[in-house]
Structure 1
Amino acid sequence: MKEAPKYVVVAGQLRQEILEGRYAVNDQLPQENAIAKAYNVSRITVRKALDGLVEEGLIYRIQGSGTYVKDNQPTENSTQKSSLEIFDFNHYKVELLNFAVVKPEESISNQLNVTQFDFTYEVERLIVQQDSDEVIGLQRIYMPAKVIQGMRMDVLKGSIYDFLEADLGLVLGSAIRTISSELADLKLMEKLKLSKTEPLLTMEQRSFLENGQIFEYAYTYLRPTEFSLHESINVKA
């Protein structure tokens, strides 16, 4: 079995330490030499791991000073579930394509900080307009079964976060969301029921409980011609 690259392992360990609160906001991380020695890797490997955490928004660099933990937690006034949720299921419905409990591929186990022997929920679902039946997106969701226990198929037809809070009593914390774009390939065209290729908006999201435990890795494809994002932003004085 192919091992994860060393920089992915180092990044995963540092990410977990940050999210578990070992380092507070604006705390300085150890110097690259110290991290390299602790994990028995090169400084190049450490730098690549830190670069990834900078891109995720977990840490920031000050030239000539060092690397520090960024404030990535929700504010007291934020609504955690609505911040995590992309879709308003009062207006959209779900067509479930796949729900399985599997041992994850290496790329997924790295994202969830689990081993390839830990069981993971694997979900694939279409998001559809309620009034027109137009497909507006495709979601692929992965959750560690040891964290999310008792997932049901009917839950996947709407907001999963409602179930986590109301039924499982979990306290949702924060998420790291990366937005990008790509062209639909033939497989995506078929699943999204497209007659021709078109650009898609992509959202990669890692979601965490209040205690810092990652509970979800999700990748969403959106048709920007059929869906737009609306957010209300309040800036406190």
Structure 2
Amino acid sequence: MAHLVKDCASGGSEPRYLAIRSIIRNRIADGTYAAGTAIPSEHELSTEFDTTRLTVRNAIDGLVTQGLIRRVQGKGAYVSRVGQGQHAHATGFRAWVKADESAPSVRQLSKAKRAAGPWYADLFDIDEDDELYSIRRLNSIDGVPVSLEQTLIPVKFFPGIEDVDVSVFSLYETYAMCGRKVALAQEKLDVVALSTRDAGLLQVEPGSLALSLECLSFDEQGRPVEHAYALNTGRRSGYTYEY
């Protein structure tokens, strides 16, 4: 493939960076570079195509503009099939924080797969032996921890979801990239006292009160695709309801 790029460029029919851009775009389209995962580094691509890193950077720039690639400082470039206008109506943590002109950050605490069991099998209309992807995350705003989230997702609805870096893409973005945008979320609120462990992560005193939020998210066909439970300290966050 690198030789094809060189031949094309030397023939004058297409600049080399455009030829490389086309190849990367095709690899995204055919799944070679999967949505939500990192593409090879500029150094690796420049070696593959026998060209300079500047040429590769120019190739990727166009894909960033088109919304196919997202650059993340210190991490690299990631495939994103969610362009402007394609986000779900319901939004996740990062979206509403950015709307408030603050800086969100998400730290993944753990991830694992587990059997659905009878309760979640009934909730998601799947078999009891089907796998759920479990993710525990700590959300912060401007560096201040504000909430802990435990999320369960049916793996059969989102093949390959465990390969997506959720510190780069929100789960709602990931669902949309997998073809299941979240259209509706039902929430149940309560007030609980924080355990010593959870209080330590949220940097508050053990026993402090927190707002608990149980959320069930649905796709556009009305099917449940995510169950989440969050603990919110109330610092830099809150809820507003309109009737």
**TM-score with structure 1 length normalisation?**
0.56
Indicate if the aligned counterparts of 2:134 and 2:152 stay in contact, CA closer than 8 A: yes
Indicate if the aligned counterparts of 2:211 and 2:231 stay in contact, CA closer than 8 A: yes
Report which of the two structures shows the higher radius of gyration computed on alpha carbons.
2
Indicate if the aligned counterparts of 1:180 and 1:202 stay in contact, CA closer than 8 A: yes
SS of the equivalent of 1:225 reads: coil
Cα deviation for residue 164 of structure 1 reads 1.9
Structure 1 counterpart of 2:171, one-letter code: I
Q: Which has the higher contact order (CA 8 A, sep 6+)?
A: 1
Q: Verify: 1:163 aligned to 2:174, yes or no.
A: yes
Equivalent of residue 137 in structure 1, options 141, 147, 158: 147
Alignment gaps of 5+ in structure 2: 1-85
Structure 1 counterpart of 2:220, one-letter code: E
Indicate if the aligned counterparts of 1:93 and 1:157 stay in contact, CA closer than 8 A: no
Indicate if the aligned counterparts of 1:95 and 1:157 stay in contact, CA closer than 8 A: no
- Residues 9-20 of structure 1 mapped to structure 2, 5 A cutoff: none
Length, aligned pairs only: 152
Cα deviation for residue 80 of structure 1 reads 7.6
Indicate if the aligned counterparts of 2:215 and 2:229 stay in contact, CA closer than 8 A: yes
Equivalent of residue 185 in structure 1, options 195, 208, 221: 195
Cα deviation for residue 100 of structure 1 reads 1.5
Counterparts of 1:183 and 1:115, CA distance in 2: 34
Q: Verify: 1:81 aligned to 2:88, yes or no.
A: yes
Counterparts of 2:208 and 2:238, CA distance in 1: 16
Indicate if the aligned counterparts of 2:200 and 2:206 stay in contact, CA closer than 8 A: no
Counterparts of 2:155 and 2:192, CA distance in 1: 30
Equivalent of residue 130 in structure 2, options 84, 98, 118: 118
> Match of 1:203?
213
SS of the equivalent of 1:146 reads: helix
Over 6 Å off, 4+ runs: none
Q: CA RMSD in A?
A: 2.6
Identity %: 18
**TM-score with structure 2 length normalisation?**
0.55
Equivalent of residue 212 in structure 1, options 222, 225, 228: 222
